[in-house]
A and B are shown apart, each in its own frame.
Chain A
Amino acid sequence: MMAEKKKATTKKTTSKKEDTKKVAPVKQEVKKQAPAAVSSTTQQGDARIGVFICHCGTNIAGSMDIEAVQESSKAIPHVAYVDNYKYMCSMPGQTVIHKAIKDHKLTGVVVAACTPRLHEPTFRTATKDGGLNPFRFEMANIRDQNSWVHMHDRVGSTDKAIDAIKIAVAKAALLQDLFPKSVPVEKAAMVVGAGVAGMQASLDLAAAGIKTYLVEADTSIGGRMSQLDKTFPTLDCSQCILTPKMVDVGRDTNIELYTYSEVHEVEGYIGNFDVTIRKKARGVMTPKEAEAKGIVGGGCNGCGDCETACPVVKPNMFEVGMKPRKAIYINHPQVVPLIYTIDFNSCVKCGICVTACGPEKRAIDLEMKDEFIKVKVGTAILATGYDIFPIEKKEEWGYKRYENVITSLEFERLICASGPTGGHLVRPSDGQTPKRVAFVLCAGSRDNTGTGKPYCSRFCCMYSLKHAHQIIEKIPGCIPYLFYMDIRSFGKMYEEFYYRIQDEGAKFIRGRVANILEDKKTKNLHVMTDDTLLDRPVDMEVDMVVLASAVQPSADTNRTRKLFGVSCSMDGWLLEAHPKLNPCGTTTAGVFLAGVCQGPKDIPDTVASAEGAASAASIPIHKGEVELEPYFATCIEEKCAGCGMCVNLCPYSALSLVEKDGRQVMQVTEAKCKGCGTCGGFCPGGAIWMNHFTTPQIVAQIDAFLLGGEQ
């Protein structure tokens, strides 16, 4: 099976390095691609593999017999050296590796430790420092997939570790030198979602001189923050601090803004994403678009004549449905961009707006169709934000059954001067000013009943404190009652704000609200709970209840993340590459996360994460090129029959048939190939060689496991 590439030229690599490598610079191996299948530097026969077993403190050593693993490893064919160390990833640990490579003339390295996801780069570097090609390294996962899962089975985990090492050694003995390829990076980025996260990320990228395409599903930018009245703990007006940023985004020449648009298709890879934007038909032309159609001086100037004339009335969702809007509308007076939009689902195409708009502007096109725009970007940031959890699912609180039970977002609009009531908090049932307002915290958050969300939504405690303050400030004599589990005021100046609200007279009752009952006549509400500090049941009559509803990923998050190949957690929040050390990155190279789409965040954390994502997304662009893992498929042309089956199978359109020496052979576009192995596994003639996952390597691994290393 492995006979075909036994032309071992192994020794060369090792001994040559012996003298030169010490200060071996990084660039050194980006030489030319070695056509792996042919000039294979296969070791096998004279392979000398070093096995390095990591204790990971007690993570591994606490659950298995390291000595036994070490002794058994020595007996594995090709193993020339075995060592163990408390933390293999530490500097001394890495030194053990590169010293052993030189001292024992090793041709390959196996580290039995955690996962390649965590430390493959570390140990590849160590392997390189020892003078070997970094791809002569193989990892045996004896922690995440062994000691952590078999914590109480010492014998079993020891045996499993030995098996894992046997398998890794079998592959390591066949590993070949590989050379990463560099591809140029397009000097442009995409940001999906123009809430405060997306806006901040775009502004940062633009300021760094990067052309940025900002795609927003809504008709205007600003996101959730533009719906808020004030922000905690500073109590500055949300719109006041947000609108300057909105204007900057609208004005920045490096930012190309696509509102009422969505990402339709994504192709390519880091450095070269081809993204198709679907620009939904908004029925109204910007001055630019009008000019392009030959209507000079025309297009929407936001005068609103069309809106006044429109006969169709619909609920305004920016005001959480508490205010009407027309079929042609803007979200609020400060929108960016100031361009009207026709909601074609409710438009009756009566044409009155066209007349109202007049013959000069001619901004309205009732027959407008969706447009598809293709752009090329090097990196992308997802900032798709959140929606409010449909709190009517928590039936015990009667939202949508009782008129005077509202959500916090509705409260924000009611208390906001630009909101539907001009900033007067009133009861929906009778328009009266409430005197007693209950706030239900953790409404649907930290909820293990299966109906709500298990996580903490993180900003509800703080905005509810702010709401309490606003009530006390605006309605003399009105008392806010906060029903809470515990107040999580963790941020800078947050705890101080909590004390301030206590001093202002807000009442705090520690207890989860079990039930809310409505008095049929007065429409007052009875909040039923258990005061867990006083240990007594509570039945409190209030005029109004505000539910601090949990948040969940926005509706389109799942579709968008799939386009970019980003994973999500069980709750649907997008998954970062590492929760602590790579919070903005994803496992898809070149795609980053900003803001709440990754998990609930308040505004300061959202902006910080956006700046982090922008910085991370600009690095490959500024470097100008990225290295691709050399895991692509290679065609062994002598064996290829040119049948073309693989071409159709490839999910990345990386393969094609070309004419060579008068016959058809397959050719791989290496930059497009992701090394998935679909073609290699299928090829009837065995003519496709998967770098780093070759058939001989995989067969050797299987043999090692089934035959215990005897081959």
Chain B
Amino acid sequence: MSESGAKHKFAFYLGCIAPNRYPGVESASIKAMKKLGVELVPLKGASCCPAPGAFGSIDLNVFYAMAARNLVLAEQMKMDIALVCNGCYKSIWEVNHKLKHNKDLRDNVNEVLKEVDMEYKGTINVYHTAELLYNDRFIGVDKVRDSVTNPLTGARIAVHYGCHLVKPHKDREFEKEVMLNTEHPTWMEELVSALGATPVEYRNKMQCCGAGGGVRGYDIVHALDITNEKLINLQEEKVDALTDICPFCQLQFDRGQIEIQEKFGVKYDLPVLHFAELLGLAQGMSPQDLGLDLHGISCEPFLQKVL
């Protein structure tokens, strides 16, 4: 990891949904992290991560090669990668991990990369911004708390962890470093508390958002059915907002509510915010800067409570 003006510098991998649907995630990440001593430098020329369900299920060679190309771009910048999406984490972290430990696979991938004059060397690491925020080695909960100028006092916020950052438990290094288990984690709740809000536990917290693994693309009604169950459980706890660390989960919970209303005739109006957006709010960024007006479900009731 390189050190310059900021304490830590990372190549910022955006992914697809954040820049296209929730640009606030991008701006909030860059600005909020800067205040915490972490500079996110755009990873120029990056492609799709590629999506673990869509590509990984069909052709692993393409999956490995595409992810490796993104890794090589960061290697050329001599920076570790930071990203904001569980799906990207699964592809890029996991491919990095596999290529580092499997010479045959690395040779195969480098054979493909040769066509674009690239070589994977295995010189960098990959981090999710959520893990940078939680891990004292980079930022830590205390620093996050200190950076808050507009505490989200009074807001009841539930957490959706998503799947790929914490699972499979056996392979992930992140949680071995900072926590013990993945079946009922509470570290995100600590971060929510640090922003001044009240974290809320709800039934079946670790259930999937419904979208992942290609389910959304393959069978939207099935996907929404799962989402609907989570929304029912959330509604029972009377939460003001749901926070996530994955734009794909966010899409499913946010736009999914509109689809659920169309298909099942149920209305929840539950604001859904990426943790970066929450952090931006708590650090005093305006809802406009965060592009919260671009969300499918209005964040207004929540904003009124916290601003």
**What residues make up the interface of A, taking CB atoms closer than 8 Å to B?**
393-396, 398, 401, 448-451, 515, 517-518, 520
Contact = CB atoms under 8 A, between A and B. Distances in A.
Given A515-B204, A517-B204, A396 B169 contact: no
Contacts, number: 28
Contacts of B204: 515, 517
B170 A395 contact: no
A450 B184 contact: no
B181 interface: yes
Interface in B197-244: 203-204, 206, 236
B202 to A, nearest CB: 10
A520 B203 CA distance: 9
A530 to B, nearest CB: 15
Contacts of B236: 520
Contacts of A396: 183-184, 206
* Main secondary structure on A side of the interface with B: loop
A451 B184 contact: no
A451 B169 contact: yes
B58 interface: no
B203 A395 contact: no
A518 to B, nearest CB: 8
20 contacts: A393-B180, A395-B181, A395-B183, A395-B184, A396-B184, A396-B206, A398-B184, A448-B170, A449-B168, A449-B169, A449-B170, A450-B170, A451-B169, A451-B181, A451-B183, A515-B204, A517-B203, A517-B204, A518-B203, A520-B236
Interface residues of B, number: 11
Given A517-B204, A520-B203, A450 B169 contact: yes
A401 B206 CA distance: 15
Given A398-B184, A401-B184, 14 more contacts: A393-B180, A394-B183, A396-B184, A396-B206, A448-B170, A449-B168, A449-B170, A451-B169, A451-B183, A515-B204, A515-B206, A518-B203, A520-B203, A520-B236
Contacts of A450: 169-170
B203 A393 contact: no
A395 B181 CA distance: 7
Contacts of A449: 168-170
A398 B236 CA distance: 20
A442 B60 CA distance: 34
A394 B183 CA distance: 7
B215 to A, nearest CB: 15
Interface string B168-184: 11100000000011011
Nearest to A397: B183
B172 to A, nearest CB: 10
A292 B203 CA distance: 63
Interface of B: 168-170, 180-181, 183-184, 203-204, 206, 236
Contacts of B170: 448-450
Nearest to A450: B170
Nearest to B233: A517
A397 to B, nearest CB: 8
Nearest to A451: B181
Contacts of B180: 393
A449 B170 CA distance: 6
A214 B197 CA distance: 58
Nearest to A394: B183
A398 B203 CA distance: 12
A529 to B, nearest CB: 14
A448 B169 CA distance: 10
A695 B204 CA distance: 68
A196 B236 CA distance: 51
A396 B204 CA distance: 10
A518 B184 CA distance: 13
A449 B167 CA distance: 10
A451 B204 CA distance: 20
A448 B171 CA distance: 11
Contacts of B206: 396, 515
Contacts of A451: 169, 181, 183
Contacts of B184: 395-396, 398, 401
Nearest to A398: B184
Nearest to B186: A395
Contacts of A517: 203-204
A542 to B, nearest CB: 16
B163 to A, nearest CB: 13
Contacts of A515: 183, 204, 206
Contacts of A518: 203
A399 to B, nearest CB: 11
Contacts of B168: 449
B26 to A, nearest CB: 33
A449 B183 CA distance: 11
Nearest to A448: B170
A261 to B, nearest CB: 34
A519 to B, nearest CB: 8
Nearest to B170: A450
Contacts of B181: 393, 395, 451
Contacts of A448: 170
Nearest to A396: B183
Contacts of A394: 183
Nearest to A393: B181
A646 B5 CA distance: 58
A449 B175 CA distance: 13
Contacts of A398: 184
